[in-house]
Amino acid sequence: MSPAADAGALLRVEALEIAFRVRGGDVLATRGVSFEVRQGETLGLVGESGSGKSVLCRALLRLLPSPPAQIRGGRVLFDGVDLLALPEARMREIRGTDIAMVFQNPMTSLSPVWPIGDQVTEGLRIHRGLSKSAARDRGVELLRAIGIPDAARRYDDHPSQWSGGMLQRAVIAMAMACGPRLLLADEPTTALDVTIQEQILALLADLQAKNGMAMVLVSHDIGVVAETCDRIAVMYAGTLVETGPAAEVLGNPRHPYTLGLMRSSPRMDEHATRLQPIPGQPPDLARPAPGCPFVERCTFARDACRHESVRLREVAPGHASACLFPESVV
């Protein structure tokens, strides 16, 4: 990355290595993952199921269960401070205030037994010491900001009374309550309908523009990140295989996996009747082989791919690919 880019980095992840100790060996969930998110920017993290997106997000907040999770190396610099080295008490403060997270399933992100409003403002009372009535006023404001009609009355509703889309809004409001500088959204729309997905993405973009916060938006759908993100990072089998500005990555993909993801997505803008799937399946993370992790499924693979080690290398300013032969990808 260019030094100029470093200056504005809010979050900088360096060579993060996470493993799960399981019976029959270690699962390497992320291997040498490095990226950065600048102030006010949205980074889209895409990759298929099991590629390590959720593990990565949770690791940033130190939310992984340990054991079995183990951080084997690397640093997570937030505002220049290594989160991995902080005492747990300090980390607890950062969670929810400076960095907040939205999870995939809105139905299980809220407790079914408490009023939604109280759950949304819980962070304000804990971290900001707001009184119950002050929190309520702020909570109603928050619910209004996320587009809940009649917010004052619905503050006391229970989760079962709201639809999935509304609950996900509430979860977002909860994350936004303390005005975080970084929001980690782990597949916030995967459990929702396309129409509701559109509303939620609009909401996130709107909140981000208003508060100038940075966001990491995780999705397995490359279309979702295409529409919302400034930059994209493509993840495969625990490694980042391509990073760069959204327009650049989508317009000029330089890794066969990115290209494969794009080709296999059903599209509305061209008359395709047959999709082009990526053949095969992702490799077993418990048995990492030397060489490029994508080699078994890659149509561009050559002999060198099997043993030469791959790492992200810049192919254009700000655009990096982990393919040994990025020029041949078309």
Ligand X SMILES: Nc1ncnc2c1ncn2[C@@H]1O[C@H](COP(=O)(O)OP(=O)(O)OP(=O)(O)O)[C@@H](O)[C@H]1O
> Which parts of this chain interact with other proteins (CB under 8 A)?
42, 48-49, 146-149, 162-166, 169, 193-199, 201-203, 205-206, 220-224, 226-230, 245-247, 249-251, 260-269, 272-279, 281
Cα Rg of the chain, angstroms:
20
Q: Which of 68, 279, 280, 290 binds ligand X (CB under 6 A)?
A: 68
Query: Which of Mg ion, ligand SF4, other proteins, none does residue 60 bind (CB under 5 to 8 Å by kind)?
Result: none
Q: Which of 30, 51, 54, 197 binds Mg ion (CB under 5 A)?
A: 54
Q: Is 323 in the site for ligand SF4 (CB under 6 A)?
A: yes
Q: Is 52 in the site for ligand X (CB under 6 A)?
A: yes
Q: Token pair of 52, please?
A: 């390590």
User: Which of 146-154, 263-271, 274-282, 320-328 is the region at the interface with ligand SF4 (rule: CB under 6 A)?
Assistant: 320-328
Q: Which of 9, 35, 38, 51 binds ligand X (CB under 6 A)?
A: 51
3-state secondary structure the chain: CCHHHHHCEEEEEEEEEEEEEECCEEEEEEEEEEEEEECCCEEEEECCCCCCHHHHHHHHCCCCCCCCEEEEEEEEEECCEEHHHCCHHHHHHHHHHCEEEECCCHHHHCCCCCCHHHHHHHHHHHHCCCCHHHHHHHHHHHHHHCCCCCHHHHCCCCHHHCCHHHHHHHHHHHHHCCCCCEEEEECCCCCCCHHHHHHHHHHHHHHHHHHCCEEEEEECCHHHHHHHCCEEEEEECCEEEEEEEHHHHHHCCCCHHHHHHHHHCCCCCCCCCCCCCCCCCCCCCCCCCCCCCCHHHCCCCCCHHHHCCCCCEEEECCEEECCCCHHHCC
The rounded distance, in Å, linking the Cα atoms of 34 and 13 is 5
Query: Which of other proteins, Mg ion, ligand X, none does residue 277 bind (CB under 5 to 8 Å by kind)?
Result: other proteins
Q: Is 305 in the site for ligand SF4 (CB under 6 A)?
A: yes
Nearer to other proteins (CB atom), residue 223 or residue 326 = 223
Nearer to ligand X (CB atom), residue 11 or residue 148 = 11
Query: Which of Mg ion, ligand SF4, ligand X, none does residue 295 bind (CB under 5 to 8 Å by kind)?
Result: ligand SF4
Q: Is 301 in the site for ligand SF4 (CB under 6 A)?
A: yes
Nearer to other proteins (CB atom), residue 147 or residue 291 = 147
Nearer to ligand X (CB atom), residue 64 or residue 315 = 64
Q: Is 47 in the site for ligand X (CB under 6 A)?
A: yes
The rounded distance, in Å, linking the Cα atoms of 312 and 1 is 10
311, 322 contact by CB (below 8 A): yes
Q: Is 310 in the site for ligand SF4 (CB under 6 A)?
A: yes
Beta bridge partners of 134: none
Binders of ligand SF4 among 260-299, rule CB under 6 A? 292, 294-295, 298
Nearer to ligand X (CB atom), residue 209 or residue 289 = 289
Minimum gap (Å) between residue 102 Cβ and Mg ion: 12
CA distances from 308 to 170, 185, 208, 301, 304 (A): 48, 34, 41, 12, 6
Minimum gap (Å) between residue 257 Cβ and ligand SF4: 6
Query: Which of ligand SF4, other proteins, ligand X, none does residue 285 bind (CB under 5 to 8 Å by kind)?
Result: ligand X
Residues that bind ligand X (CB under 6 A): 20, 22, 27, 29, 47, 49-55, 68, 220, 285
Residues that bind ligand SF4 (CB under 6 A): 255-256, 292, 294-295, 298, 300-301, 305, 310, 323-325
Residues that bind Mg ion (CB under 5 A): 54
